[in-house]
A and B are shown apart, each in its own frame.
Chain A
């Protein structure tokens, strides 16, 4: 076999290989588009004003999904109340205050672990600490607290990363003008990092909004004939409702199932889109 022939063979193998990689990439990406288009097509017919604004009827086989929508909104907001201040402050600590020592490494390891703990284990933890030990009962409050801790690592990491991307020269200059660490953070680095921080917050809350396992035993209700009146009430929520109607309610009309999935998808992907928009806009505007 002479050399040109050999390299022609090699060429063919490589072209084949690259096409194989193309195919693999398509296999990864196409289902995503497929899923979204499919749910849109199957779910849209279910969407109506009544569907979004009425209580379920006939054992949830008719009527709307208002309590699930409201519940998910409550849970998302409740999660934000706890996780945003705590997560942003912790991100500030890591980016602006912490020195590189053993304690800081321990914090980082803790965050990595929080990020990896299975969501159902968060559910157990929430049940043990919030529902039973602190006697909050199965409630929006207990579920929000559970979701908050699950969301923390996302918010902390993105906040830290956003702060770290702010040029150090600003910190040095602010300090040289008599700025304390907090003043420098509050007036310069945090505002500059804000788009990144907000993006991280939204991505964290997006995850919380779509989670089922952590709220299963901490705040989710199978069915409630009325809207929750206080943070101490249990609540319906879109993700749990989808689980319920697709596994535990015989004779559930498919259209309602797809419609509910569509509503959750719009909720979650809408947040995702918002995060992307904020990030891109900030990138385009940045002066440094």
Chain B
């Protein structure tokens, strides 16, 4: 059990002045599914966006603490954020295919890196689509607009788009909240396979999903980390009252 990302005393306030993350300390374990769960507004998305510095786009007023990744505090201003985002990929809750073809969507990250060799790109696209369990469904229509496939397929396309960059960490923020049960099952299955190679951080869209896939779990409530531990233990015998109330469905 090795830590991939280490969060230390992280606090974050947006321009509305409310502290959205308060003194967070948590470890993201390598080659495991790390689940961050809790009711909406708890700060889970904010934390994920801190990992790949996507919060740079948001209106952040105050940010303190450290996030250690590969021996560096990525909150330092001299961090190469482009490089960081290639290593820490992200899948969002709503599938957002870029207004390009399927092929261009998957190759997008590599194209941005300046990769121009068509055969390299083709290889990477196929590999990523296979990993995301989408290859067989789309291999004959790679030049169609990405908006033409179903919602479930689009979300797997978004996963493939991240995988094509061969990242170290994959952040998934409620990736199945807009999907039907079958597509949800496919994505969850992919995650279990992917954790062999990648470190996964998942914000599940309900407690059941959290319990199904979590190796490690962290419960967030109103910007605070309430409880953190091994997935099975946390769901079977939570130590803190709020966690218990939440996993047993008494609130949230």
A positions within 8 Å CB-CB of B: 169-180, 183, 187-188, 191-192, 287-288
A168 to B111, CA, bound (A): 21
Closest 5 CB pairs of A and B: A177-B109, A178-B86, A169-B96, A176-B90, A287-B147
What A residues does B199 contact at CB under 8 A? none
Let me know if B162 is at the binding interface, CB within 8 A. Answer: yes
What A residues does B86 contact at CB under 8 A? 177-178
Q: Chain B binding site: helix, strand, loop or mixed by DSSP? A: helix
What A residues does B57 contact at CB under 8 A? 171-172, 175
Contact pattern, B 57-97, Cβ under 8 Å of A = 1, otherwise 0 = 10000000000000000000000001101100110101010
A175 touches B54 (CB 8 A): yes
Closest B residue by C-beta to A288: B99
B82 touches A178 (CB 8 A): yes
B82 touches A170 (CB 8 A): no
What B residues does A178 contact at CB under 8 A? 82-83, 85-86, 109, 112-113, 165
Let me know if B235 is at the binding interface, CB within 8 A. Answer: no
A204 to B99, CA, bound (A): 28
Contact pattern, B 135-173, Cβ under 8 Å of A = 1, otherwise 0 = 000000000010100000000001001100100000000
11 pairs, CB–CB < 8 Å, chain A vs chain B: A169-B94, A172-B57, A173-B96, A178-B83, A178-B112, A178-B113, A179-B108, A187-B112, A188-B100, A287-B147, A288-B147
Let me know if B98 is at the binding interface, CB within 8 A. Answer: yes
What A residues does B85 contact at CB under 8 A? 175-178
B96 touches A177 (CB 8 A): no
Q: How far is the CB of A151 from chain B (nearest CB, A)?
A: 29
A173 touches B92 (CB 8 A): yes
What A residues does B54 contact at CB under 8 A? 172, 175-176
Count: A-B pairs, CB below 8 Å: 61
The answer to whether residues A177 and B99 also contact, given A171-B57, A172-B92, A183-B112 and a CB cut-off of 8 A, is no
A170 touches B96 (CB 8 A): yes
Q: How far is the CB of B201 from chain A (nearest CB, A)?
A: 14
Query: Which range contains the number of B residues in contact with the other chain?
Result: 20 to 34
A179 touches B112 (CB 8 A): yes
Let me know if B52 is at the binding interface, CB within 8 A. Answer: yes
What A residues does B145 contact at CB under 8 A? 287
B108 touches A177 (CB 8 A): yes
A224 to B65, CA, bound (A): 74
What B residues does A179 contact at CB under 8 A? 108, 112
What B residues does A183 contact at CB under 8 A? 112
What B residues does A171 contact at CB under 8 A? 57
Closest B residue by C-beta to A173: B96
B82 touches A174 (CB 8 A): no
Interface hits, B120-135 → A, CB 8 Å:
none
What A residues does B109 contact at CB under 8 A? 177-178
What A residues does B92 contact at CB under 8 A? 169, 172-173, 176
What A residues does B165 contact at CB under 8 A? 177-178
B89 touches A174 (CB 8 A): no
What A residues does B52 contact at CB under 8 A? 176
What B residues does A177 contact at CB under 8 A? 85-86, 89, 108-109, 112, 161-162, 165
Q: How far is the CB of B172 from chain A (nearest CB, A)?
A: 12
